[in-house]
Structure formats: structure tokens, C-alpha cells
Amino acid sequence: MSMDFNALAETYGTPLYVYDFDAMRAQYETLKEAFRGRKSLISYAVKANSNLSVVKQFADLGAGADCVSIGEVRRAMMAGVPKYKVIFSGVGKRDDEIREAIERDILYINLESEAELGRVEMIAQELGQVARISIRVNPNIDPKTHPYISTGLHDNKFGVEIDAAKRMYIRANASEWLEPVGIHFHIGSQLTELDPIREASEIVADLVRSLKAAIGIELKFFDIGGGLGIRYKDETTITPYDYAQAVLSTLTGMDITVVCEPGRFMTANAGYFLTRVLYEKQNGAKRFVVVDGAMNDLIRPSLYSAYHRIAPATAHEGDETPADIVGPVCESGDFLAKEYPLPPMAHNDLLVVHSAGAYGFGMGSNYNTRGRAAEVAVEAGADRLIRDRESFEDLVAPELKYLG
């Protein structure tokens, strides 16, 4: 869909997040089609973009929700995801979060340690309610991605090794208060190679078979996590069909529902971050383009050295030369790009930061007492506001009543 970014910026102001809902829907449908003929659940990873309207769109399409906090569980259910499609994952769940997840009777809780299994069992017994659980297995496969978003190696904090998983399943199977229904693995985000996915799936599928043969556990859900990569610049990506076939090839003869938890794949390239140029600045030979968007709005470049394509909203004359695109936040690490080729820019020119629909707004902050950006949805050619821009009053309200 072609968008009039200048009109959107004029209507809603900047900095601004804009989401193409039609593109998000197409991503969901492509992935669902890839698993056609197999029992499957596409469970949207809410952390990628947790706006209620985004989550509701996927819920309306039939998606579940992969949640990593009780807040995300509440958000998913508020947006219309039925409880039997809600999964609660994450390494560090508090007792009150576990209690609420059990009380809400969600599909299952993903367990990440033997200690956590003990807490869930104890809380389920206190409630007198059986907790459905899955165990996140760490297959120790190198996903060949950025180290900060790798999750399937022994060096990472996520999941348990095969032997620990076996012990946990034996204990859960014997417990009056635990019902083991699934198995889970997720080796990392922004995956662009098939072999690590296939290898991890083979290891976990073999564990499912051995659990059935050795202790009679018949798991219902084979949760492959998410992580399917997208193109930010020039990455060679995996097609959803090849991704699905790599997993399904390891499940021969197994009657099990495949759960897939995409986040970035669904929303990243459907999102744009709009920011206006304040002025240009030259420090010796170094060129800076100062904009009104900052690291508190989009932290991925500062945090991961992540690349986002950035382009003026309208054609500009003049040669492109390298510039650091920087924001107003009082940190040297406040930048959207370094040495990025741009034509000469003037005050109020609009820049469009692409691939900003995942891990953009959600990772934002109020650093430097900056209100977070507004969010806008564009669907079938019509635009609508889906989150107000934060005001100064919004920021100080939780503190003001304590001011002496």
C-alpha cells in the first residue's frame, strides 16, 4: 500500500508510528497457509507490538497470543484472544503472575526451570486447580543471529537442557496438580537459515517420541517458538513454506498440533516511524541531521546497532552524503543511524524510518521526560489513531500526588 506520510504527519504530528494493517493481515495469512493440512495455531508474540488494536486484529483472524508477562496475558484477553489460545512464557514469573495465569485457565504455562516447575505445582495445589504446562527445551543449537537475540544455546538464560527436561516431565506426569500438554523451543529471533531450525526441531521431536515410549506422555502441542527473519536491508530470508516444511519434516508419524509464535515477521515491515528534521549541524567534517525522534522512541539502533532503511518522504535535490541521524536525547548513543547517505535536509523535512513495526514503540521510554509517540493504523486506505500521544500531564500524574 502506498501511504501519504506527509499527510499523516500533518494530521497526527511527529514523532509518529504508522502501521499498515493490511500488510500485517497478509503476513498472518501467508504463515497460516504454510502450515495448511496440519493442525496448527499461529500464536502472535505480543511483545513485538502490543498495541491493543494490533493484537485484536490478529485475534479476529484466529490467532492466539504468546505472552511474556501477566500484563501481556491481560492485554491479549482484553483484545479478544480466547483463554484457550493464550500461552504464558518467560524466564522470571512471579508467584502472583503464575497464580493469575492458572486462575485464568489459559492454554498452558511454559516452564523454564525445575525451580519454576516447583513453584507452579505448589501454587496450583494451593488453588486446588490443575495447571497445564509446557517445558521450554534448550536444544543448544547456534541460530547464527545477533548474540542479544540468540536464545537456544547453553550460554543463554532460556530453557532447560534435555536431561533436565526429562526429569521435569517425569515429575509433572506424576503430579496431581500438573498436566504436561506441550513442549517448546525457540532458538532466537531474526532467523535467516533453515538448518538450525530443522536441527532444533529434530532434537525436540526425538524427545517427544522418547517421552511417549519411556513414560507414556502424549504431548498435544509442539511449540516451535517464533523468530522467522525479515528483510531490513539485504538479508536473504526464509519463505514461510520452507520454514513450515523444515519443521514438519521432523514430525513424521506424530499426531501433534504445531504452535508457531511469530512477532517480528507479522509486524516489522508493516510499520513506519516518522520523524521531522529540526536542523542540520556540521562539526568539522562530520555531518549531523538532528530530528525530533530519539532513542526513547526507537532504541533498536542504539541497543543492537540495528539497521533501518531511512528515506525522505518526498524527493530531494542534491547529492547524498553520509550523516549521523540523531535525536534530542542527551546521550551520545542517541541515534537512528550512523553515516547514513542523505541529500541536503531542511527544517521540517520528513524522514520515514522503515521496518519499525516490531520492537519499536514497545521498547520506548520516557527518558528525558519525553512523551511517547502516537500510533496510527492504516487499513483499506483509511487511517485512524490507535494510541494517543503522551502528554507531560500523563508522565507526571503517577508522581504528582506525592509532591509535598
Q: Give kind and range of the element (H or E) at residue 352.
A: strand 350-353
Which region holds residue 278: left if phi is over 0, alpha if psi is between -120 and 50, else beta?
alpha
DSSP codes of every residue in 370-396: -PPPEEEEEETTEEEEEEPPPPHHHHH
Binding residues: 227, 261-264, 300, 304, 331, 359
Active-site residue flag, 67: no
Amino acid at 103: E
Any idea what DSSP says for residue 194? H
Any idea what DSSP says for residue 235? P
Which region holds residue 122: left if phi is over 0, alpha if psi is between -120 and 50, else beta?
alpha
Q: Count CB-CB contacts under 10 A for residue 343.
A: 14
Binding residues for substrate: 264, 300, 304, 331, 359
32, 42 contact by CB (below 8 A): yes
Any idea what DSSP says for residue 35? T
Q: Which one from 115, 213, 330, 403 is the annotated catalytic residue?
A: 330
Q: Count CB-CB contacts under 10 A for residue 11.
A: 13
Please provide residue 259's backbone torsions phi and psi, each rounded to the nearest 5 degrees. -110, 125
204, 139 contact by CB (below 8 A): yes
Binding residues for pyridoxal 5'-phosphate: 227, 261-264, 359
Q: List active site positions.
A: 330
